[in-house]
Amino acid sequence: MRHTELPPLDEYVDLQSLLDNVKQAFPTEDSVRWFVRRNRDALAASGAVIIITGRMRFHAQRFKQAAVEIGQRAAA
């Protein structure tokens, strides 16, 4: 999933806010951190994750879509 246009900065949230949107698949903060560690390149390429002033920010919709695509590739 590659987007040429990124969403506005105010649509990106911190990890705690992301958890509210992805709790079904990622029930804990540690599960999200693990997933990001293993898939950071794909998440960044999709615009699901950015780093601003040294802090990781997440776009919930893109994160969920990227997770589905990463999961699909893992299942193939």
Total domains in the chain come to: 1
7 in a structural domain: no
Q: What is the pLDDT of residues 3-48, one digit of tens each?
A: 568 999 999 999 999 999 999 999 999 999 999 999 999 999 999 9
44 in a structural domain: yes
Are 46 and 65 in contact by the 8 Å Cβ rule? The answer is yes
22 in a structural domain: yes
pLDDT on residue 3: 53
25 in a structural domain: yes
1 in a structural domain: no
Q: How many helices (H) and strands (E) does the chain have?
A: 3, 2
CA distance 29 to 45: 22
69 in a structural domain: yes
Checking if the pLDDT of 1 tops 70, the result is no
Q: Supply the range of the domain harboring residue 39.
A: 12-75
Q: Which residues pair with 13 in a beta bridge?
A: 58
